[in-house]
Amino acid sequence: MKKIATRDAYGKALVELGRENPDVVVLDADLAKSTKTIEFAKHFPERFFDMGIAEQNMIGTAAGLAAAGKIPFCSTFAIFATGRAFEIIRNSVAYSRLNVKIAASHAGITVGEDGGSHQSVEDIALMRSLPNMTVLVPADAVETRAAVRAAAQIQGPVYIRLGRPGVPVLHGDDFHFEPGRAVVMREGDDATIIATGIMVATALEAAGLLEQEGIGVRVVNMHTIKPLDEEAVIAAARETGVIVTAEEHSVIGGLGGAVAEAVCACHPVPVYRVGLPDVFGESGKPGELLEKYGLTAAHLAARVREAVTKKGRR
Amino acid sequence: MDGEKIKRLEEKARKIRRHIIRMTGAAGSGHPGGSLSSADIVTALYFEVMRIDPQNPRWPDRDRFVLSKGHAAPVLYAALAERGFFSVEDLLTLRRLGSPLQGHPDMKKLPGVEMSTGSLGQGLACANGMALAARLDGRDYRVYVLLGDGEIQEGMVWEAAMAAAHYRLDNVTAFLDHNGLQIDGPVARVMSVEPVAEKWRAFGWDVQVIDGHSMEEILQAVEKARAVRGKPQMIVAETVKGKGVSFMENMVEWHGVAPKPDEVERALAELA
């Protein structure tokens, strides 16, 4: 299957957006080559601002640009964008619902060799906790392009989570993206995997493995963490009786947390959360890290199998 | 300089100081000290310097003012009300539930507030963003910012200072309300920020040092700043915390404490 990194798709989508909308401006914090905002910078140098290694100032400047009618996209690694600049995002952007887009790359452990200091596994939790913030986690290149275009249409702050490695292209060009509306990628009655970002492809693979054993798994692509498609979550709970969430993020506060919150309130069923188990990452090849932390199709299938067995005993 | 104009502005500043006392007194909390120290600067901006239209607060070509030291909200609210952005009677709702006059300025709630501030250190970056937008749009508006001297202990201020100079934002004029006091005591003792003028100069800014309570010096400094090309401008305003109320002047205790009813009366008598 063809693989494209979501950050590469982001770089392309920005150029396209820049052509269509003169109000789109882009800021980066000395990582333009890595986040791919360099593409926009090449095409529209007068609308690109490198802010140097100063993420707080980048977000604050974007707030001012937005207050004056611009649509700023800010990019750097997810750890710095959401961690270093968190309180600026809260007070200068989200508090006033300013039209700032934060498109952060190198999220999760697939950053790889750079190690735990650079692997953001808490950014979804941070961004999801902010009022007025929309949180998008695209699964592939097609979804990334759609998310970037949707973000530009949304009046208010949007966080887009992007990754470093190439990931399979799951959608055709006719894919319709609606923020806040989950996509059922395949049907099944025995369990549901709700996945986000790069884990959607992994979830589909896991569902394929389980099908061979006669376990039917529904795969829900939750590309929008906030606002969460509670309807899709409740339907999964009601119709399949058990949910396994999958994310390249801490099991605390991200997709798993959001799904568990919705399920608890509306239709309690067991929810098993697959993700980083309250630990930091480390150096290694992305594939090795995914294996070590249980973010592979085989691991995910094992968790689903276990969940389905337990469900039968209830 | 036009003596009549100076007299008019001085009288307006006194009126704004009276509002600050009444507002914080009625609220029972708030920050009178740093509001009083910056009252002359804010008065000069809103009643002489800035191109604004209270009837059209979102006018694209308006000059902007960002109160980076957001706890001085009372001085901003008093100036906006006196200038006609909203009713003067609303001032007494400061910090009450449901009032658009939040404890720290909220741009979504109150017309005329250009940026929500309060968490220190963030305003200059926002002002820079507005200034960059002006350049992109080919508009000639200017952006004014007021920083506190304690506030510049925040590292983000210096990130923004660097960026303003790097991008040659000569449409940004900042004031430093150099009153020398912060909550825990004298700035010099808590965490020295000196030498401030040299620091800003080293960061690539045009710097002037003035008496922040002399209307004449404030206006002259703004005039000079506007003529600067290729550099942002910092006007270090030497001020007195609590200025205008004898028992508040240079008293750190009045940073974030509201006057009681009898103190309100005494203060208003001094500001009559």
CA distance B101 to chain A (A): 15
Interface test with A, best of B132, B154, B169 (most A CBs within 10 A): B132
Based on the fold, state whether residues A12 and A138 are members of the same structural domain: yes
Alpha-carbon distance of A276 to A253, in angstroms, equals: 11
Nearest CA in chain A to B133: A65
Mean pLDDT of chain B: 98
The answer to whether residues A18 and A144 belong to one domain is yes
Indicate whether A7 and A154 sit together in one domain. Answer: yes
Residue A110 Cα distances to A93, A107, B160, angstroms: 28, 7, 32
B1 pLDDT higher than 80: no
User: Does A70 sit within 8 Å of B118, measured CB to CB?
Assistant: no
Pairing of strands A271-276, A217-221: unpaired
Token pair for residue B209?
A: 């040092």
Average pLDDT of the residues in B65-75: 98
Neighbours of B253 (CB within 10 A): 12
Does residue A176 belong to any structural domain of this protein? Answer: no
Residue A70 lies in a domain: yes
State the DSSP string of B101-140.
S-SS--TTTSTT--S---STT-HHHHHHHHHHHHHHHT--
Q: What's the pLDDT score for residue B30? A: 96
- Statement to judge: residues A40 and A161 lie in one domain: yes
Give the end-to-end CA distance of chain A in Å, rounded to a whole number: 39
Which tokens go with B226?
A: 């506007």
Could you give the domains of chain B? 3-270 (3.40.50.970)
By C-alpha distance, which of A155, A90, A76 is closest to A120? A76
Is residue A173 assigned to a domain? Answer: no
Using one digit for the tens of pLDDT, what is the confidence trace for B100-118?
999 999 999 999 999 999 9
Residue B26 near chain A (CB below 8 Å): no
- Mean local confidence (pLDDT), B56-76: 98
Final residue of a domain: which of A138, A168, A198? A168
Nearest neighbour of A68 by CB, restricted to B122, B124, B130: B130
Instruction: Classify the phi-psi angles of B148: left when phi > 0, otherwise alpha if psi is within -120 to 50, otherwise beta.
Output: beta
Same domain, A209 and A144: no
DSSP label of B258: P
Average pLDDT over residues B32-38: 97
Q: Is residue A107 part of a domain?
A: yes
- Distances in Å between the Cα of A158 and the Cα atoms of A161, A290, B121 are 10, 27, 23
Angle subtended at Cα A257 by Cα A254 and Cα A259, rounded to the nearest 5 degrees: 105
**CA distance linking residue A176 with residue A168, whole number of Å:** 18
Torsion, Cα of A174, A179, A181, A185 (10° steps): 40
Residues in B closer than 8 angstroms to A54, CB to CB, are 156, 159, 162-163
pLDDT of residue A312: 63
- Report the SS3 class of residue B199: helix
Q: Within a domain: residue A267?
A: yes
Domain end point (choices A108, A137, A168): A168
B137 to A92: CB separation less than 8 angstroms, yes or no: no
DSSP-assigned letter for residue A281: -
Residues in chain B, total: 272
Distance from CA of B126 to the nearest CA of A (A): 4
* CATH code for position A152: 3.40.50.970
Q: Mark yes or no for CB contact B106/A63 under 8 Å.
A: no
Interface of A with B (CB under 8 A): 25, 46-47, 49, 51-52, 54, 56-57, 59-70, 72, 87-88, 91-92, 95-97
CA dihedral A21, A43, B130, B163 (to 10 degrees): 160
Which residue in chain A is spatially nearest to B63 when comparing CA positions?
A68
At B168, list the tokens.
């040659």
Q: What domain range includes position A290?
A: 183-309
Summarize pLDDT for A31-83 with one digit per residue, the tens.
999 999 999 999 999 999 999 999 999 999 999 999 999 999 999 999 999 99
Give the model's pLDDT for residue A1: 78
Statement: residue B242 has pLDDT above 60: yes
Structure tokens at A215: 């376990």
Number of domains, chain A: 2
Find the closest chain A residue to B160 by CA distance.
Answer: A57
| Placement of tokens 């710097």 in the chain | B207
Closest CA to B71 of B89, B95, B48: B95
- In three-state secondary structure terms, A304 is helix
Helix (H) or strand (E) holding B91: none
Q: Does residue A19 sit in the same domain as residue A164?
A: yes
Residues A221 and A123 placed together within one structural domain of the fold: no
Q: Are A142 and A103 contained in the same domain?
A: yes
Say if A8 falls within a structural domain: yes
When scoring A27, A61, A132 by the number of chain B Cβ atoms within 10 A, the one with the most, hence best to mutate, is A61
Q: Are A237 and A204 in contact (CB under 8 A)?
A: no
Q: At B229, is the secondary structure helix, strand, or coil? A: coil
> Which secondary structure element, helix H or strand E, spans residue A199, and what is its range?
helix A199-211
**Which residue in B106, B116, B157 has the most chain A C-beta atoms within 10 A of its own C-beta, making it the best mutation to test that interface?**
B116
Is there a contact between B22 and B265 (Cβ–Cβ < 8 Å)? no
CB of B88 within 8 Å of a chain A CB? The answer is: no
Residues facing residue A12 across a β-bridge:
none
Residue A174 resides in a domain = no
Question: For residue A49, what are its two tokens?
Answer: 């601002």
C-alpha dist (Å) from residue A44 to A16, A120, B136:
11, 30, 12
Which residues lie across from A186 on neighbouring strands?
Answer: A219
Q: Which residue of A has its CA nearest to B134?
A: A68
A11 and A146, same domain (yes or no): yes
H or E segment and range at residue B23: helix B3-27
Based on the fold, state whether residues A12 and A139 are members of the same structural domain: yes
DSSP string across A8-51: HHHHHHHHHHHHH-TTEEEEESS-HHHHSTHHHHHH-GGGEEE-
Catalytic annotation, pick one of A16, A20, A39, A55: A55
Going by C-beta distance under 8 Å and a sequence separation of 6 or more, which residues neighbour residue A180? A224, A227, A228, A229
pLDDT of residue A310: 86
Give catalytic status of residue A282 as yes or no.
Answer: no
| Interval A171-209: pLDDT, tens | 998 999 999 999 999 999 999 999 999 999 999 999 999
Q: What is the pLDDT along chain A (314 residues), one digit of tens a residue?
A: 789 999 999 999 999 999 999 999 999 999 999 999 999 999 999 999 999 999 999 999 999 999 999 999 999 999 999 999 999 999 999 999 999 999 999 999 999 999 999 999 999 999 999 999 999 999 999 999 999 999 999 999 999 999 999 999 999 989 999 999 999 999 999 999 999 999 999 999 999 999 999 999 999 999 999 999 999 999 999 999 999 999 999 999 999 999 999 999 989 999 999 999 999 999 999 999 999 999 999 999 999 999 999 886 65
Task: Give dist(CA A137, CA A132) in Å, integer.
Answer: 17
Of A134, A168, A202, the residue that ends a domain is A168
pLDDT at B233: 98
User: Under an 8 A CB cutoff, do A57 and B125 touch?
Assistant: yes
Query: Does residue A81 share a domain with residue A209?
Result: no
Contacts of B125 in chain A (CB under 8 A): 56-57, 59-61, 63-64, 88, 92
CA distance A198 to chain B (A): 34
Q: From the CB of residue A149, how many other CB atoms can be counted at a distance below 10 Å?
A: 15
- For the residues of A77-117, what is the DSSP string, one character each? BHIIIIIITHHHIIIIIITTT---EEEEBSBSGGGGGG-GG
Q: In chain B, what residues touch A63 (CB-CB under 8 Å)?
A: 115, 122, 125-126, 129
Which CATH number do you get for residue A257? Answer: 3.40.50.920
Per-residue confidence (pLDDT) for residue A311, from 0 to 100: 81
**CA–CA dist B177, B80 (Å, integer):** 19
Task: Chain A: give the shortest CA distance to residue B155, in Å.
Answer: 9
* Digit-coded pLDDT (tens) for B184-206: 999 999 999 999 999 999 999 99
A201 shares a domain with A283: yes
Inspect the interface and report whether the beta carbons of B167 and A49 lie closer than 8 Å.
yes
CB contact under 8 A, B116 and A88: no
Q: Closest chain B residue to A93 measured between Cα atoms?
A: B116
Q: Give, in degrees to the nearest 5, the angle at Cα A56 between A52 and A58.
A: 50
A156 inside domain: yes
Output the CA–CA distances (angstroms, integers) from residue B13 to A10, A234, B92, B122, in the order listed. Answer: 52, 60, 18, 26
Q: Do B133 and A63 touch (CB under 8 A)?
A: no
Q: Which residue of B has its CA nearest to A96?
A: B108
